[in-house]
Amino acid sequence: MYIIVDDRESVANSYITGLVREGVSSIGFSSGEFWDWLQSASEADLEAVDAFLLGDVDARGSIPRAVRKRSSAPIIALSGLKMLKNTLELFEAGVDDVVHVPIHLREILARTAAIARRRMGDSPRPCETRIQVFFNGRDPEIGGHALTLPRRELRILEYMVGNHGKWITKTQIFNAVYGIFESTYDESVIESHVSKLRKKLRDRLGFDAIVARRYVGYRLDIPVSETIDEPIGELQDVGILLNRSHSSPAAYSAS
């Protein structure tokens, strides 16, 4: 989920609309609303945030430091001023990146993924991957071949890749896909999405990549024996790869 902070409601709404088209949940706040939300947000809500987009707001210099006290999610400043002084001030305030508007939302998604990848460290090698997932709306690839997914299944796969080998709950997935403020849908919708995604991955990989355990949740698990040795070529976009260094022990039997 993306949090857009901008005192111009029309601007925030345009970003929300664009992100929804990309299958990414988001919500916009004015600066005053954001301060209130940040102080009262639970840890679970903050963990569901992929990035904060900081637009035209009052006290923009103090917001990044306040956010960093509660969240490690990337903070990307949206600037309409192509001035070195303004850019340096934003970085000094604590943002992770500065982009100049107008900008395509897929570039923002890619920049967010790049920041996350740098924080992960120990970048994986393409020759040790089976699944390649991009975070800019592009279809994922398995063995070098594209796998077309509906946007919500794609978002679930992206979230699972970012938490590869970890158990994640239905609530966590729901918050990542639909957002923490969604009230139209019930969490049970995630079971259907995961079931469909699991089957598609099984058909392409030949094994269950998603492990399910009742009362625990789901885990994306790519065993070491299922990696391939042939390089899949140079990366053409920002992505996160699953590799031997991120592999987990053999999966438990699915429930």
| pLDDT tens-place string over residues 205-242 | 888 999 998 888 999 987 654 443 333 333 334 444 44
- Residues 92 and 80: their CA atoms lie apart, in Å, by 18
Instruction: Say yes or no to pLDDT of 200 above 90.
Output: yes
User: In 3D, which of 60, 1, 50 has the Cα closest to residue 30?
Assistant: 60
- Residues 72 and 176: their CA atoms lie apart, in Å, by 16
Window from 65-79, 124-138, 156-170, 198-212 with minimum mean pLDDT? 124-138
Task: Give the model confidence (pLDDT) of 9-31 as tens digits.
Answer: 999 999 999 988 887 889 999 99
Instruction: Say yes or no to pLDDT of 77 above 90.
Output: yes
Q: For 61-71, what is the mean pLDDT?
A: 94
Instruction: Say yes or no to pLDDT of 2 above 90.
Output: yes
pLDDT tier at 198 (50, 70, 90 boundaries)? very high
Distances (CA, A) of 166 to 108, 159, 162, 220, 247: 26, 11, 9, 7, 11
Instruction: Say yes or no to pLDDT of 5 above 70.
Output: yes
Q: Which residues pair with 27 in a beta bridge?
A: 3
Task: Give the model confidence (pLDDT) of 100-148 as tens digits.
Answer: 999 999 899 999 988 887 876 654 433 235 788 887 778 988 888 899 9
CA torsion, points 114, 56, 102, 84, in degrees to nearest 10?
Answer: -70
- Owner of token pair 């309409």: 80
Q: Structural domains in the chain? A: 2-110 (3.40.50.2300), 122-246 (1.10.10.10)
Q: Residue 212: what pLDDT? A: 92
